[in-house]
Amino acid sequence: MDTDAFRRLWNELEPIGRTEAGGYLRFSWTESDLRLRLWFQAQARLRGLRCEEDRNGNLYAWWDAEKEQVVDPDRPRPLDQLTARKPRREGAVLTGSHFDSVPHGGAYDGPLGIVSAFLAVDRLRAEDAQPKRPIGIAAFTEEEGGRFGVPCLGSRLMTGVIDSDRARALTDPDGVTLAQAMRDAGADPATLGPDPERLERLAAFIELHIEQGRALDGSESPVAVATAIWPHGRWRVTFTGEADHAGTTRLPDRRDPMLTFAFAVLAARKEARLAGGVATVGRVEVEPNATNAIASTVTAWLDARAPDEAVLGEILSGFESKVTERAGRDGTGVAIAPESETPIVEFDASLRDRIAALLGGAPVLPTAAGHDAGVLSAHVPTAMLFVRNPTGVSHAPGESASDEDCAAGVEALAAVLRELAC
Amino acid sequence: MDTDAFRRLWNELEPIGRTEAGGYLRFSWTESDLRLRLWFQAQARLRGLRCEEDRNGNLYAWWDAEKEQVVDPDRPRPLDQLTARKPRREGAVLTGSHFDSVPHGGAYDGPLGIVSAFLAVDRLRAEDAQPKRPIGIAAFTEEEGGRFGVPCLGSRLMTGVIDSDRARALTDPDGVTLAQAMRDAGADPATLGPDPERLERLAAFIELHIEQGRALDGSESPVAVATAIWPHGRWRVTFTGEADHAGTTRLPDRRDPMLTFAFAVLAARKEARLAGGVATVGRVEVEPNATNAIASTVTAWLDARAPDEAVLGEILSGFESKVTERAGRDGTGVAIAPESETPIVEFDASLRDRIAALLGGAPVLPTAAGHDAGVLSAHVPTAMLFVRNPTGVSHAPGESASDEDCAAGVEALAAVLRELAC
């Protein structure tokens, strides 16, 4: 794989939604998202791939099978061996990822999987490969939850994990609903909802993604295969008190939710450290947010993840009891509401082992990050490839991968598609 | 004083800038501010008062002296007795306050002083009083700093406490500069700056204000006279770390400024409690403010006040050393920058005692809240009247005063104007 070919295609995407500080604002159904969608359609058209958008706004570019599949008794279909689930002889092999970013995120998280998919198709065509199953490239909508708060929104809608009425009513920080944002972008929110027929047509989903961590730094292999996704969730924590004058209200008379919130930030970290998981408060909103007024409400989002569900539950219950006790002392209220909870995802073990072997013994790694692959894995044999990220930085502009490693990722993805679909 | 007369005038102002939740968004140079300015001009015109706007956007309605002042040797001018400063025989007596609110503030903080001033003029005219000095009603601009961050902006500009270039460059939360906001409102920011001639023409300034606290609750008097304003200040505290993925970044690898910020909130409260002052963090901004990203920057504003400057200094130095030490442990940066620092204001003692006696022995109280009266007191003999606030709530919609107490405030203000100017 030619690193120049990677760089040429990558350069086309790089300016879209980038801020002067180098981070990205690529939120679903915004102008930058619409530009990315147009780019996707243009790439599909250039390659003669059939483009479609599903009922949930997810995009696909299809390389249809060259001819009706003929079962060759001397060469069993690989997927039949790869999974204990019911074989889907006619099913497609789907790859891809997402375009959207967290606020001021990096360039690779998401788009690398889409760019690599187009280049893998180019690679297979250069060797005149003939797909015996359809090969699809997917761009899922709102994977990060960066605009409407629910991560993997496109794949959750498709699989029915989130109710379509609830999804339509989700609001962005400006109070715009998903339904309105879709209409403003020329899309139809009425069609949102589960899409079991589409899932049924898939034989496998392979998501290539930049590594989020530094496990491959110093490794011989620039590409790893995922074992599992840690169970994780987001909880909205609302601290309520009483707005009052910051100068004239005596300390004992205050019901200041900022104090309870501050305690909660430190408590989350401590509980996660003791239990062996991670917990983060990265998003906060304060009302009225005035320098000289005690806050009336502080809303914070807790992100917590752990190697298994028992540890995650331990973090949450410790957090809740400590914060509730503190709220009692502060005279404030606290309400904890889950926004998303994702159980552990163990990727298809036989598919994972087959891919690791195919790639010459690639390392296998768990990840603490959620992905559309995790959502789809409940319905479709699913695997993930990770491309080395030497700094380990993720969800920030410092995220990076070398062109050489990205090209190696394309080679690996092409090998997997060749094995599964050609 | 007729409570109905108070209620009628009060009702005219009440809807302007009020939200559905009952709080006020009255920010300088916004549409609601322009409506309040038009109301002021209409009230002046109705009473035949001469209206003017000074070079800093502060409004005045003047009841000019009926005739050239004649010094009657048998009746010395009261102000000559009231202050040890150089007498200003020709000087005007100014009263008034401000229209602007903190975000979602109450109705009384500011506007009560302006409404009461118009009604006090009505009261004096009803008894056919003849001013021997000009009586002015003032509406100062941006007292709360609710839009551009610097409190008492109109009086600070007038007295040269803030540089006019710095003021013009102040930005609101949307990034609009004061200069642009003034131009958008049809005002000229080029004229901003000190106005010593105008200050020189003032003999006294009397600000009537709703009480901020509950000292008068249960008192026999609905009106008090101010002794002093606690020294106070605002500091912008910037916590810097490194944005990264909330799931995949190991706890020991994090440089999370949210932790240092949370510690700082609790440290500010503790230092204030130990020293005998107050400290509040009511405003916070987080970058990138995403649920699944560790923050790169948390900016918080510390508001601290104390009975004297030594105690305030103690709170600040304790806060700074504790937070700096914690930042070292968190691997984060912390920078503390003053946005405004106001030394203790002791109001003119002889003027205060004279007014307290005139009002039949009204209570005298200190306040921890800043006011334009505090800024002007460095240049003009200044006094403040407080009208009872039974709940003590301030800077929030629950702020209240009874119509009877407001009418008593008008009576008291009329008595002071009569004594000083007629």
CB contact under 8 A, A245 and B303: no
What element of type H or E holds A103?
none
Residue that the structure tokens 């009926």 belong to: B66
Verify that B285 and B321 share a domain, yes or no: yes
Structure tokens at B266: 């609790």
Of A342, A370, A400, the residue at which a domain comes to its end is A342
Name which of A241, A228, A210, A254 is nearest A373 in CA terms. A228
Verify that A198 and A284 share a domain, yes or no: no
pLDDT at site B87: 40
Structure tokens at A402: 């070398």
List of residues 6+ apart from B295 with CB closer than 8 A: A282, B241, B243, B256, B257, B258, B286, B287, B288, B289
pLDDT at site A90: 65
pLDDT at site B75: 46
Verify that B238 and B354 share a domain, yes or no: no
How confident is the model over A103-145, as pLDDT tens digits? 999 999 999 999 999 999 999 999 999 999 999 999 999 999 9
On the question of pLDDT at B82 being above 70, the answer is no
The parts of chain A modelled with pLDDT lower than 50 are 68-78, 80-89
Verify that A188 and A284 share a domain, yes or no: no
Name the A residues in 364-403 with CB < 8 Å from any B CB.
367-370, 392-398
Verify that A56 and A200 share a domain, yes or no: yes
On the question of pLDDT at B39 being above 50, the answer is yes
pLDDT at site A77: 47
A345 forms bridges with which residues in the sheet?
A229
- pLDDT over 70 percentage in chain B: 94
How confident is the model over B104-139, as pLDDT tens digits? 999 999 999 999 999 999 999 999 999 999 999 999
In B, which residues are within 8 Å of A281 by CB distance?
258, 262
Q: pTM score, two decimals?
A: 0.75
Verify that A70 and A59 share a domain, yes or no: yes
Verify that B328 and B367 share a domain, yes or no: no
Verify that B196 and B79 share a domain, yes or no: yes
Chosen for mutation from B209, B280, B393 (greatest number of chain A CBs closer than 10 Å) is B280
On the question of pLDDT at B95 being above 80, the answer is yes
**Residue among A262, A291, A301 whose CB faces B234 most closely:** A291
The answer to whether residues A123 and A135 touch, using CB atoms and an 8 Å cutoff, is no
For every residue of A233-277, DSSP letters joined together read EEEEEEEE---EETTTS-GGG---HHHHHHHHHHHHHHHHHHHTS
Residue that the structure tokens 């921890």 belong to: B368
Of B309, B342, B375, the residue at which a domain comes to its end is B342
Chosen for mutation from A19, A148, A248, A345 (greatest number of chain B CBs closer than 10 Å) is A248
Number of structural domains found in chain A: 2
A305 forms bridges with which residues in the sheet?
A232, A278
Cα-only R_g, chain A: 23
**CA A39, CA A222: separation in Å to the nearest integer?**
28
List of residues 6+ apart from B278 with CB closer than 8 A: A246, A247, A249, A250, A251, B272, B304, B305, B306, B368
Kindly indicate the confidence band of residue B90, based on its pLDDT and cuts at 50, 70 and 90. low
CATH number for the domain spanning A285: value is 3.30.70.360
pLDDT at site A342: 86
**Residue among B23, B296, B395 whose CB faces A244 most closely:** B395
- pLDDT over 90 percentage in chain B: 86
Of A342, A357, A385, the residue at which a domain comes to its end is A342
CATH number for the domain spanning A417: value is 3.40.630.10
- Whole domain around residue B238: which residue ranges? 232-342
Verify that A189 and A244 share a domain, yes or no: no
Residue A339: CB atoms within 10 A of its CB come to 17
On the question of pLDDT at B33 being above 70, the answer is yes
**Residue among B292, B296, B339 whose CB faces A144 most closely:** B292
Verify that A117 and A252 share a domain, yes or no: no
Verify that A331 and A363 share a domain, yes or no: no
CB contact under 8 A, A248 and B303: no
pLDDT at site B213: 87
ipTM (interface pTM): 0.76
CB contact under 8 A, B272 and A253: no
Structure tokens at B367: 């306040």
**A22 close contact with B: CB closer than 8 A:** no
The answer to whether residues A271 and A315 touch, using CB atoms and an 8 Å cutoff, is yes
Q: How far is B271 from chain A (nearest CA, A)?
A: 12
Whole-number Cα distances in Å, B195 to B55, B81, B158, B200, B203: 8, 26, 5, 9, 15
- Residue pairs spanning A and B at CB distance below 8 A: 252
Verify that B210 and B261 share a domain, yes or no: no
List of residues 6+ apart from A370 with CB closer than 8 A: A151, A152, A229, A232, A342, B247
The answer to whether residues A146 and A173 touch, using CB atoms and an 8 Å cutoff, is no
